[in-house]
């Protein structure tokens, strides 16, 4: 794209793209220029002046020709003053000196200025030992101070539960303020006053009202901002650092765990590494406490056979006894009722290799196809549904490129709660790359705020399908699906389905869509036009659609929209599914779904099945098994008699609480492997103690389908086994000849066998693995009318639910800081609804759904639309599945005032 | 100089969200109309607010932030950057003594000491009866008539000495 | 020959009247030189607070990796040291210590000194891990700094 220029730095000549900054060119020339205020993700500022260098350009005569010096080379006109390297772009023939007397003196002078008021408290400063100011003062500064006056002092403050501010140490580089503004979109920090009295703090020195991500602490080059949870815990040299992948969502951020002894003391981002490059959200940065939780399981538990009943408690057993017991019972049930009486659930939090072994255990060893990782599904979905909606495995774009697309449509998810890094990518893109955001969500979520310049399509709850159909129709009105930039037409299936889709969508005029959704017709047409006509575009959806009662129709509608707008065809565009867990994509890839084998190989296809049968030395059933919601129903009805639930709090994640209780009570054998004795584990017959993400190595596949290695930071908790070991032990007890020594052995088998993963090895996944892609697509595309005419169950208010930033899953409840930040779970109402129900602050409300009821404290919230109630699902006290399973377009509940607030749930 | 800072009796800031009084709304609209985007009006609006409330309590800063669609923290930063915005309550008469070169040479220090002694307050403090706030300020651009003193936003008093200041204080209603 | 014998016995007899260089340990004990390096002490300020702030510079300076420090934040009402930080745990493994004095040199607070105590034998390995209780001087020695 841009032309290359030659620049000479300290005598080394390098060729870099025009417009590169001097500091970056110096990195290419392997010359070190110190920086404080400059940051790879932020635009240049030039605040700290430590990067002063001497810069010269070739002298030109009147005709613009370079003047030649005595030695025949071009004569250099040195700028009389040193310039900041971090703000000066290079140009052809530029000469830079970082070691000339002028540059050295300038740097030394700047360092002296920076240290004028900096306290000499490095021994008690948490940054000491990894402080850039300390390092550079050591490298460039004087060993004494000429300043004899008293230093100016500020009072230290706790800015909320995460950030400790010691303004005396601040060098006013503005990194924190800019990061908070441009990447987090929070603007929680600001400089107060000016000149030497400048101090970074919050509005009126209040505790920070923000995402509490701690990225300000991360980017602070000195010890002015430090993390309270890590305060005085250790010095940097105490810590062994292990870079692994964060377990909290599907974005796949690299996280650097600092371990002292057997304890994780902190988690940090990794500068210039991983998809996230230093960014971490509050969960990733402070959500590691469960690893060292004292309540972790340290041994297997078995419920003695025979005497079924309430008095029959789980008893500690050796791992071998538990394995033998589980295998014997599985064999017994398989012999008596057939393998179809056994079902395998969960696995979205496992590594790729363990997911592979889990379904291999089910299919090859036991012979059942009842395998599903998607325990939260409300309605059955084929295992290929998500891949199909996101392009069938065709090459996609990375999260980094997503931040440079021009138009992004976010469907249904509050990314702040579900995928915080994805939100940061989009906010940064909006701020720095001109990304335009369109957010279709019933609530005005953070991304839809006016200051981010996007458009909020505030659709009525339950009208998601109508909006998608309206958008697709409006996009198709602008023309047929676009060809790929390489000139190739869209797949034949797309062209084939087009006429039928057009006919079906003929009724979905913008006006009708507007009537159904409450979004103005003009806004729908404009959004479709922006998507179709932008040079690059992306559509993002997540669990809100996946766990919708109309998921099948919605995913088809997303795919229709993807083809109609070109998000699935055109270059630099994509449709992205941001799943809920770190292993969601991997579980789908590894065939943790009842109808597909690893690599989305359909079970029904005998030829495609053959390599698996050969490798696994087993005959595989061709008939698809049951999906998670079907397994739930079958177990509750007593048809499925044995369940193996791995890493999943099924009692909470299944869509219907009454049904799941019944299923667990009726099942003859429930095997649970988990870190803790969860509610589900309490109802099990065999409990295996599993290890956490920090205690095992393997591969995770993130939402952009990127494979990344995870590393082992700790030895496994005594008594706990990795899930892979557990599966292998049971498989061997059942007579299978498994002999994997490590997860790497398993990955070799995957790379040999699974389409899309060919040729990969652990060695190719460092430092950042590739995004797997498959051409031709793993799953054929289709354009098909998407409709679902079932009415919503119940009457009354629409129940809106969603993730919140500070809680996710049952592990989040184990982390004191996150629980405290999340606060009490409240049912949130629009002011109108609040008035109609006659609520006052401190009240509680009774929500009655088709399956049961919940009592919750209330809060007023203008972002919730009238006619709905918002309840976050991740809080410990909220067990939304007690309300029953949503039907049709969503769940409706009756709300009534229920006196004063009290805690509910278990 | 007096010991403990005098407790001020000036009105405390409003509690809870505030709104522009209806009489001010035309002024606010006019200030906003001067600029192509709302955020540019932050300084004029801070002035309007300070004239209305006498100082800038947090709730008023939030009001300004809402009006110009800027983050609260940013407006707070702007208000603290400029020394002429009062972030603490001030008395009825805000005495600002110029301390820059010309005035300083003509005895501004002596004048300040005199005022401080007479009122019993130091720099930035307010008398207990809420009448006077005393402050050292930078150049008031009356260098020809130093030492000089500004009362509130309007009145300049030049060529002052102790006696003139005493007379001035007595003249103030 | 007689002469040589007499000279030799003369030397022997002469030693009888000299001051002995050996000591009747443990009844008598050697007085060490001011800069002798024996068991460490952790000193106190005049006001009785610990000088150590738990910065771990001694631990990182220690070539034998004998020192373990775990810092914590002072309770403002009942501080252990000046400032915000203090050593919650301070342990020296005297089996590893090589008495080089680097910890003393590294200490920015003049908190740790190698003192004169050289009687470090014991029967159990655990006893060689000196904890903060054993290293910290008593309140009565507040303000005491060894002569160097």
Stretch(es) of chain A classified as CATH 3.40.228.10: 398-572
What 8-state DSSP symbol labels residue A214?
-
What local confidence, expressed as pLDDT, does residue A742 receive? Answer: 95
Q: Which two tokens stand for residue A245?
A: 């992948």
- Which phi-psi region, left, alpha or beta, contains residue A145 (left: φ > 0; alpha: ψ -120 to 50)? beta
What local confidence, expressed as pLDDT, does residue A306 receive? Answer: 57
B18 — pLDDT class (breaks 50, 70, 90): confident
Compare CB distances from A235 to C56, C84, C109 and report the shortest one's residue. Answer: C56
Report pLDDT digits (tens) over A821-860: 999 899 999 999 999 999 998 899 999 998 899 999 999 9
Please give the full DSSP string across A465-534, using - where no structure is assigned.
HHHHHHHHHHHHTT-SPPPPTTSPPPPHHHHHHHHHHHHHHTT--HHHHHHHH-S-HHHHHHHHHHHHHS
What residues in C contact A262, CB-CB < 8 Å?
none
CA distance B58 to chain A (A): 7
Q: Is B79 an interface residue toward A (CB < 8 Å)?
A: no
- Residue A904 pLDDT exceeds 50: no
Q: Is A119 an interface residue toward C (CB < 8 Å)?
A: no
Report pLDDT digits (tens) over A733-748: 999 999 999 999 999 9
- Residue B2 pLDDT exceeds 50: no
> What are the beta bridge partners of residue A674?
A689
Q: Is A128 an interface residue toward C (CB < 8 Å)?
A: yes
Helices marked H in A287-398 — which ranges?
Answer: 319-337, 352-360, 385-389
Q: Do chains B and C touch (3 or more CB pairs under 8 A)?
A: no
What local confidence, expressed as pLDDT, does residue B46 receive? Answer: 97
Mean pLDDT along residues A289-297: 95
- Residue A293 pLDDT exceeds 50: yes
Q: Kindly determine whether residue A123 and residue C55, on different chains, have CB atoms separated by under 8 Å.
A: yes
Domain boundaries, chain C: 22-141
Question: Closest residue of A to B81, CA-based?
Answer: A193
Q: Is A261 an interface residue toward C (CB < 8 Å)?
A: no
Report pLDDT digits (tens) over A393-415: 988 899 999 999 999 999 999 99
Q: Which fold has domain A797-900?
A: Barwin-like endoglucanases (2.40.40)
Q: Is A816 an interface residue toward C (CB < 8 Å)?
A: no
- Residue A1 pLDDT exceeds 60: no
Per CATH, is C22-141 categorized as 3.30.70.3270?
A: yes
What residues in B contact A193, CB-CB < 8 Å?
80-81
B6 — pLDDT class (breaks 50, 70, 90): very low
Q: Kindly determine whether residue C56 and residue A238, on different chains, have CB atoms separated by under 8 Å.
A: yes
- Taking the C-alpha atoms of residue B83 and residue A274, their distance in angstroms, rounded to an integer, is 45
> What are the beta bridge partners of residue A410?
A439, A540
What residues in A contact C108, CB-CB < 8 Å?
123
What local confidence, expressed as pLDDT, does residue A478 receive? Answer: 93
Taking CA atoms, A615 is separated from A344, A744, A754, in Å, by 21, 17, 11
Q: Is the peptide bond before C26 cis (omega within 30 degrees of 0)?
A: yes
Q: Which two tokens stand for residue A736?
A: 């299978």
Q: Kindly determine whether residue A124 and residue C60, on different chains, have CB atoms separated by under 8 Å.
A: no
Find the helix or strand (DSSP H, E) in which B81 lies: helix B72-81
Compare CB distances from C85 to A124, A129, A238 and report the shortest one's residue. Answer: A124
Q: Kindly determine whether residue A124 and residue C73, on different chains, have CB atoms separated by under 8 Å.
A: no
Q: Do chains C and A touch (3 or more CB pairs under 8 A)?
A: yes
What local confidence, expressed as pLDDT, does residue A311 receive? Answer: 60
From the list A361, A363, A347, the residue with the least C-alpha distance to A730 is: A361
CATH number of A4-112: 3.10.20.740
Q: Which two tokens stand for residue A108?
A: 């030394």
Classified as helix, coil or strand, C39 is coil
What residues in B contact A187, CB-CB < 8 Å?
71-74
Classified as helix, coil or strand, A856 is strand
Residues 7-66 (C) with a CB less than 8 A from some CB of A: 53-57, 59-60
Q: Is C115 an interface residue toward A (CB < 8 Å)?
A: no
From the list A139, A84, A419, A461, the residue with the least C-alpha distance to A283 is: A419
Find the helix or strand (DSSP H, E) in which C41 lies: strand C40-42
Q: Kindly determine whether residue C55 and residue A124, on different chains, have CB atoms separated by under 8 Å.
A: yes
Neighbours of chain C (3+ CB pairs under 8 A): A
Residues 698-717 (A) with a CB less than 8 A from some CB of B: none
Q: Is A138 an interface residue toward C (CB < 8 Å)?
A: no
CA distance A257 to chain C (A): 19
What local confidence, expressed as pLDDT, does residue A889 receive? Answer: 84
Environment class of residue A157 by beta-carbon count within 10 Å: exposed (0-12), middle (13-18) or buried (19+)?
A: middle
Q: Is A203 an interface residue toward B (CB < 8 Å)?
A: yes
Q: Kindly determine whether residue A187 and residue B61, on different chains, have CB atoms separated by under 8 Å.
A: no
Query: What percent of chain B is modeled with pLDDT above 70?
Result: 91
Classified as helix, coil or strand, C27 is coil
Neighbours of chain B (3+ CB pairs under 8 A): A
- Taking the C-alpha atoms of residue A673 and residue A675, their distance in angstroms, rounded to an integer, is 7
Tell me the count of A-B CB pairs closer than 8 A: 35
Q: State how far Cα A139 lies from the chain centre.
A: 39
Stretch(es) of chain A classified as CATH 3.10.20.740: 4-112
**CA torsion, points A560, A566, A571, A576, in degrees to nearest 10?**
-40
Give which of B55, B57, B73, B83 to mutate to test A binding, by max A Cβ within 10 Å.
B73
Compare CB distances from C83 to A124, A235, A238 and report the shortest one's residue. Answer: A124
From the list A673, A675, A679, A704, the residue with the least C-alpha distance to A773 is: A704
Stretch(es) of chain A classified as CATH 2.40.40.20: 797-900
Q: Kindly determine whether residue A124 and residue C57, on different chains, have CB atoms separated by under 8 Å.
A: no
What local confidence, expressed as pLDDT, does residue A777 receive? Answer: 87
A141 — pLDDT class (breaks 50, 70, 90): confident
CA distance C69 to chain A (A): 9
Per CATH, is A398-572 categorized as 3.40.228.10?
A: yes
Q: Kindly determine whether residue A128 and residue C55, on different chains, have CB atoms separated by under 8 Å.
A: yes
What local confidence, expressed as pLDDT, does residue B3 receive? Answer: 39
- Residue A444 pLDDT exceeds 50: yes
Q: Which residues of B64-91 are buried (b: 16+ CB within 10 A; e: fewer)?
A: bbebbebbbbbbbbbbbeeeebbbebbb
Mean pLDDT along residues A67-95: 92
Question: Closest residue of A to C83, CA-based?
Answer: A124
Positions of E strands within B15-162: 93-98, 132-137, 149-151, 155-157
CA distance A174 to chain C (A): 26
Complex prediction ipTM: 0.88
A906 — pLDDT class (breaks 50, 70, 90): very low
pTM of the model: 0.93
- Taking the C-alpha atoms of residue C26 and residue B113, their distance in angstroms, rounded to an integer, is 74
Report pLDDT digits (tens) over A857-895: 999 999 999 999 999 999 998 999 999 988 778 889 999
- Taking the C-alpha atoms of residue A814 and residue A825, their distance in angstroms, rounded to an integer, is 16
What residues in A contact C72, CB-CB < 8 Å?
232
What residues in B contact A203, CB-CB < 8 Å?
58, 61-62, 72-73, 76
- Residue A117 pLDDT exceeds 90: yes
| Residue-range domains of chain B with CATH | 1-89 (1.10.10.1590), 93-171 (3.40.30.10)
Class of domain A317-370+584-765: alpha beta
Residue with tokens 């409709």: A787
A766 — pLDDT class (breaks 50, 70, 90): confident
Residues of chain C with pLDDT under 70: none
Mean pLDDT along residues B78-95: 93
Please give the full DSSP string across A148-206, using - where no structure is assigned.
-SPPP----EEETTTEEE-GGG-----HHHHHHHHTS-----EEES-GGG-EEE-GGGP
Write out A777-830 in H/E/C secondary structure.
CCCCCCCCCCCCCCCCECCCEEEEEECECCECHHHHCCCHHHHHHHCCCCEEEC
Report pLDDT digits (tens) over A11-70: 999 999 999 999 999 999 999 999 999 999 999 999 999 999 999 999 988 888 888 888
Round the CA-based radius of gyration of chain C to a whole number and report it. 22
Compare CB distances from B73 to A194, A203, A450 and report the shortest one's residue. Answer: A203
- Residue B1 pLDDT exceeds 50: no
Neighbours of chain A (3+ CB pairs under 8 A): B, C
């Amino acid at each position: 794209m841009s032309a290359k220029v030659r620049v000479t730095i300290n005598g080394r000549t390098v060729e870099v793209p025009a417009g590169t900054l001097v500091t970056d060119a110096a990195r290419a020339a392997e010359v070190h220029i110190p920086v404080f205020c400059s940051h790879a993700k932020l635009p240049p500022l030039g605040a700290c002046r430590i990067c002063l260098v001497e810069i010269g350009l070739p002298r030109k005569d009147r005709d613009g020709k370079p003047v030649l010096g005595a030695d025949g080379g071009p004569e250099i006109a040195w700028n009389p003053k040193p310039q900041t390297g971090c703000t000066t772009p290079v140009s052809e023939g530029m000469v830079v000196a970082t070691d000339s007397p002028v540059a050295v003196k300038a740097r030394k002078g700047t360092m002296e200025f920076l240290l004028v008021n900096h306290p000499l408290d490095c021994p008690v400063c948490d940054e000491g030992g990894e402080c850039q100011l300390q390092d550079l003062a050591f490298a460039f500064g004087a060993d004494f101070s000429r300043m004899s006056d008293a230093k100016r002092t500020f009072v230290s403050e706790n800015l909320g539960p995460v950030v400790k501010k010691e303004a005396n140490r601040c060098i006013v580089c503005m990194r924190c303020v800019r990061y908070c503004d441009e990447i987090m979109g929070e603007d929680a920090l600001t400089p107060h006053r000016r000149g030497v009295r400048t101090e970074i703090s919050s509005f009126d020195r209040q505790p920070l009202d923000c995402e509490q991500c701690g990225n300000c602490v991360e980017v602070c080059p000195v010890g002015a901002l430090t993390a309270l949870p890590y305060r005085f815990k250790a010095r940097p040299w105490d810590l062994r650092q292990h870079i692994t992948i964060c377990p909290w969502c599907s974005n796949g951020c690299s996280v650097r765990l600092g371990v002292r002894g057997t304890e994780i003391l902190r988690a940090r981002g990794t500068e210039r590494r991983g998809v996230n490059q230093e960014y971490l959200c509050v969960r990733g940065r402070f959500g590691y406490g469960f690893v060292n939780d004292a309540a972790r399981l340290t041994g297997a538990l078995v419920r003695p056979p025979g005497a079924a009943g309430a008095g029959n408690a789980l008893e500690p057993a050796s791992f071998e006894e538990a394995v033998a017991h589980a295998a014997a019972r599985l064999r017994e049930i398989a012999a008596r009722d057939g393998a179809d009486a056994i079902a395998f659930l969960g696995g979205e939090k496992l590594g790729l290799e363990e997911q592979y072994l889990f379904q291999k255990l089910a299919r090859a060893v036991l012979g059942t196809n009842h395998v599903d990782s998607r325990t939260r599904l409300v309605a059955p979905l084929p295992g290929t549904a998500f891949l199909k909606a996101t392009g069938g495995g065709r090459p996609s774009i990375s999260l980094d490129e997503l931040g440079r697309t021009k138009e992004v449509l976010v469907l249904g998810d509050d990314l702040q709660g579900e995928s915080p890094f994805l939100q940061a990518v989009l906010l940064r893109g909006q701020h720095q790359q001109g990304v335009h955001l369109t957010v279709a969500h019933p609530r005005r979520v953070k991304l839809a705020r006016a200051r981010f310049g996007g458009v909020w399509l505030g659709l009525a709850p339950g009208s998601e399908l109508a909006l998608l159909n309206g958008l697709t129709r409006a996009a198709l009105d602008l023309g047929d699906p676009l060809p790929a930039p390489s000139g190739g037409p869209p797949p034949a299936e797309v062209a084939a389905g087009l006429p039928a889709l057009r006919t079906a969508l003929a009724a979905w005029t913008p006006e009708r869509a507007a009537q159904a959704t409450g979004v103005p017709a003009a806004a729908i047409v404009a959004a479709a036009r922006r998507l179709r006509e932008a040079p690059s575009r992306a559509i993002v959806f997540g669990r809100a659609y996946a766990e919708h009662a109309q998921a099948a129709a919605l995913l088809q509608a997303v795919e229709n929209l993807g083809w109609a707008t070109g998000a699935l065809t055109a270059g630099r565009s994509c449709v992205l599914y941001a799943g809920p867990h770190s292993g969601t994509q991997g579980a789908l890839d590894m065939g943790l779904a009842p109808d597909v084998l690893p690599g989305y190989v359909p079970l029904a296809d005998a030829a495609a099945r053959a390599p698996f049968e050969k490798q696994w030395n087993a005959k595989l059933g061709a008939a698809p098994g049951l999906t998670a919601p079907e397994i739930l129903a079958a177990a509750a009805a007593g048809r499925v008699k044995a369940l193996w639930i791995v890493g999943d709090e099924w009692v909470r994640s299944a869509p219907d609480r009454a049904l799941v209780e019944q299923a667990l009570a009726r099942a003859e054998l429930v095997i649970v492997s988990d870190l803790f004795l969860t509610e589900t584990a309490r109802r099990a017959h065999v409990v295996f103690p599993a290890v956490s993400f920090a205690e095992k190595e393997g591969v995770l596949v993130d939402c952009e389908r990127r494979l990344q290695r995870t590393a082992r930071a700790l030895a496994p908790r005594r008594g706990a086994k990795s899930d892979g070991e557990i599966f292998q032990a049971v498989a061997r007890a059942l007579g299978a000849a498994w002999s994997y020594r490590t997860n790497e052995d398993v990955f070799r088998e995957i790379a040999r066998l699974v389409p899309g993963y060919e040729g990969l090895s652990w060695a190719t996944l460092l430092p950042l693995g590739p995004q797997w892609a498959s051409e031709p697509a793993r799953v054929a595309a289709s354009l098909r009318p998407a409709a679902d005419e079932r009415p919503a169950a119940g009457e009354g208010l629409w129940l809106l639910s969603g993730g919140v930033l500070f809680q996710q899953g049952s592990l989040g409840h184990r982390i004191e800081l996150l629980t405290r930040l999340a606060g009490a779970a409240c049912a949130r109402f629009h002011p109108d609804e609040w008035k109609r129900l006659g609520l006052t602050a401190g009240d509680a409300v009774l929500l009655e759904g088709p399956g049961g009821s919940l009592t919750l404290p209330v809060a007023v919230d203008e972002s919730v639309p009238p006619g709905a109630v918002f309840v976050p699902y991740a809080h410990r006290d909220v067990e939304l599945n007690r309300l029953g399973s949503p039907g049709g377009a969503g769940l409706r509940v009756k709300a009534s005032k229920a006196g004063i607030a009290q805690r509910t749930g278990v | 100089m007096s010991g403990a800072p005098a407790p001020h009796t000036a009105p405390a800031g409003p509690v809870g969200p505030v709104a522009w009084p209806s009489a001010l709304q035309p002024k606010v609209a006019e200030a906003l109309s001067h600029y192509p985007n709302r955020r540019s009006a932050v300084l004029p609006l801070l002035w309007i607010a300070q004239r209305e409330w006498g100082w800038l309590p947090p709730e008023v800063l939030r009001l300004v932030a809402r009006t110009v669609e800027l983050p609260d923290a940013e407006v707070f930063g702007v208000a603290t950057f400029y020394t002429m915005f009062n972030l603490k309550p001030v008395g009825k008469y805000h005495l600002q003594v110029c301390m820059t070169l010309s005035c300083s040479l003509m005895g501004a220090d002596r004048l300040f000491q005199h005022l401080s002694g007479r009122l019993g307050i130091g720099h930035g403090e307010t008398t207990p009866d809420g009448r006077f706030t005393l402050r050292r300020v930078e150049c008031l651009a009356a260098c020809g008539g130093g030492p000089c003193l500004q009362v509130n936003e309007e009145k300049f008093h030049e060529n002052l000495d102790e006696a003139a200041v005493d007379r001035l204080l007595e003249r103030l209603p | 020959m007689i002469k040589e014998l007499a000279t030799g016995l003369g030397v022997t007899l002469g030693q009888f009247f000299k001051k002995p260089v050996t000591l009747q340990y443990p009844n008598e004990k050697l007085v060490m030189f001011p800069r002798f390096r024996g068991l460490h002490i952790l000193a106190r300020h005049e006001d009785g607070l610990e000088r150590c702030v738990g910065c771990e510079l001694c631990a990182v300076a220690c070539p034998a990796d004998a020192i373990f420090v775990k810092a914590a934040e002072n309770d403002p009402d009942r501080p252990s040291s000046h400032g915000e930080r203090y050593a919650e745990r301070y342990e020296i493994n005297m089996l590893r210590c090589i008495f080089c004095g680097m910890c003393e040199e590294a200490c920015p607070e003049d908190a740790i000194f190698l003192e004169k105590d050289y009687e470090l034998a014991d029967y159990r390995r655990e006893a060689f891990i000196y904890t903060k209780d054993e290293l910290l001087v008593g309140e009565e020695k507040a303000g005491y700094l060894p002569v160097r």
